[in-house]
Amino acid sequence: MATNLPSAAQAQGGVGVASVPHTEHDDHLHGHEEHHDQHWLWKYVFSQDHKMIARQFLITGMIWAIIGGTLSSLFRLQLGWPEATLDWLQPFLGKWIEGGKLNPEFYLALVTMHGTIMVFFVLTAGLSGTFSNFLIPLQVGARDMASGFMNMLSYWFFFLSSVIMFASLFLETGPAAAGWTIYPPLSALPQAISGSGMGMTMWLVSMAFFIVSQLLGGVNYVTTVINMRTRGMSMSKLPLTIWAFFLTAILGILSFPVLLSAALLLIFDRSFGTSFFLSDIYIAGQALHNQGGSPVLFQHLFWFLGHPEVYIVIMPAMGMVSEVLATNARKPIFGYRAMIGSLIGISLLSFVVWAHHMFVTGMNPFLVRCSCS
């Protein structure tokens, strides 16, 4: 019987596509493709080849960029021309247009989803996922990533997270609407804003999968850079692009779990009656039972990721700019070692300054001062 099962090498997350041994096909389905080594499912869909996965990240990222851009156009239409009537959008947005204006909760949902999509799906997954995957093996001289299997999982967790986040846009009660920073109590209480019902739940589930994807990818990049450099390539001969991708991955590994913990605690507060972030709340005619929690705690957890996150976004780009400049000017980048030092300095410092997102939160002002950077 012919089988379409992946070979043993693939199951182990083996290296590269080229070395996969011949698999058998059903003759009556694939007779004319006998000369192909891989079934299209394993070659194009659940690929473990870093270049294919990079393409998958790229396409998904581009689709998200179009969606995110569309969302921003909608709320900017409302914001830029507040007197104008938006009735012409009714065929597209249905009940979200009221009296010629965007429904205020929907406006907040647009802003929230635009931020989430752009920061996480386009700039983190779409940038890092694409370029780190494509360039790291090529530029360090490895045949593929350390684990093609984990790499494949990284993309498909991202895909799963994308499907959930995309579906949340079409909910009856609306997508998450508490800002891309989803501060509780607004994000914890469905009675505070309708997007904090199912929309917020789906946001949290989607982000949980997204973070798993980032961690899988990040560990892969770091391992590949550390272990699989070709002979003669010491760390101080790494292209700056790879230095940037490497440090970005480290930042991600260290900071994304903290967002995961914040999301988890928020899930508990929303669904299991805990009081991590909630205290002394009277809403919708009812005094809630929660005591002792602190919304500021969520902000700390969020921004502990939130600050390194912006460096995760920009460092790959800075690394690639160094490469592009040097190549097109036909000269080495000025101060290679100083550049490495700067990248490392940025990475280290980025972990201690998250409170500069919290100056007006009511946090102890002395501690906030220590984040003056």
Partner 1 sequence: MTALTILLVLVLLLVVFGLLFRLQILTSIFSGTYVREIGMSNRINAALMIVFMVVGGGAFFWSFSENFNKMNPPVASVHGHAMERMFWITMTVIGIAFAITQALLFIYSYKYQHKEGRRAYFFAHNNTIEVIWTIIPAIVMASLIFAGWKAWTRITGPAPKDSVVVELMGKQFNWLVRYPGRDMKLGVVNYRLIDASNDFGFDLSDKSALDDFTSTEIHVPKGHPVLIKIRSRDVLHAVYMPHFRVQMYAVPGMPTRFWFTPTMTTDEMRAHLGNPKFNYELACNQICGKSHFAMKATLIVDEPDDYQAWYAKQSPNSANADMMASYKQTSKNAGLGKGGSAGAKAAAIEETGETPAVPLAAQASM
**Residues 246 to 285: which contact partner 1 by CB under 8 A?**
278-283
**CA separation for the pair 346, 43 (Å, rounded):** 38
Strands 101-102 and 97-98: antiparallel
The Cα–Cα gap between 89 and 109 comes to 16
- The full DSSP string for 247-284 is HHHHHHHHHHHHHHHHHHHHHHHHHS---SS--S-EET
φ and ψ at residue 101, rounded to 5 degrees: -125, 160
294 lies in the site for partner 1, by CB under 8 A:
yes
94-133 footprint of partner 1 as x/- string (CB under 8 A): ----------xx--x-------------------------
CA 338 from centre of chain: 29
Nearer Cβ to partner 1 (94/232): 94
92 lies in the binding site for partner 1 (CB under 8 A) = yes
Q: Residues 113, 175: contact at Cβ < 8 Å? A: yes
Rg of the chain, C-alpha, whole Å:
23
Question: Does residue 176 contact residue 116 with C-beta atoms inside 8 Å?
Answer: yes
Of 138, 160, 192, 353, which one interacts with partner 1 (CB under 8 A)?
A: 192
Applying CB under 8 A, among 8, 235, 310, 338 the residue interacting with partner 1 is: 338
Report how far residue 53's alpha carbon sits from residue 121's, in angstroms, rounded to the nearest whole number.
15
Provide the minimum distance between the beta carbon of 58 and partner 1 in the complex, in angstroms, as a whole number. Answer: 17
Q: Determine the 3-state secondary structure of 98 from DSSP.
A: strand
190 near partner 1 (CB under 8 A): no
Least distance (Å) from partner 1 to the CB of residue 226?
Answer: 25
Is residue 329 a contact point for partner 1 (CB under 8 A)?
A: yes
Closer Cβ to partner 1, 57 or 276, answer by number: 276
Please state, in angstroms and rounded to a whole number, the distance separating the CA atoms of residues 149 and 154: 9
Least spacing, CB of residue 105 vs partner 1, in Å: 5
Interface stretch with partner 1, choices 27-35, 45-53, 115-123, 292-300 (CB under 8 A): 292-300
DSSP β-ladder status, 286-287 and 282-283? antiparallel
Whose Cβ is closer to partner 1: residue 167's or residue 329's? 329
Residue 203 beta carbon to partner 1: minimum distance, rounded to whole angstroms: 15
Contacts with partner 1 by CB under 8 A lie at 91-92, 104-105, 108, 178-179, 183, 185-186, 189, 192-193, 278-283, 287, 292-297, 300, 329-332, 334-338, 360-365, 367, 369, 372
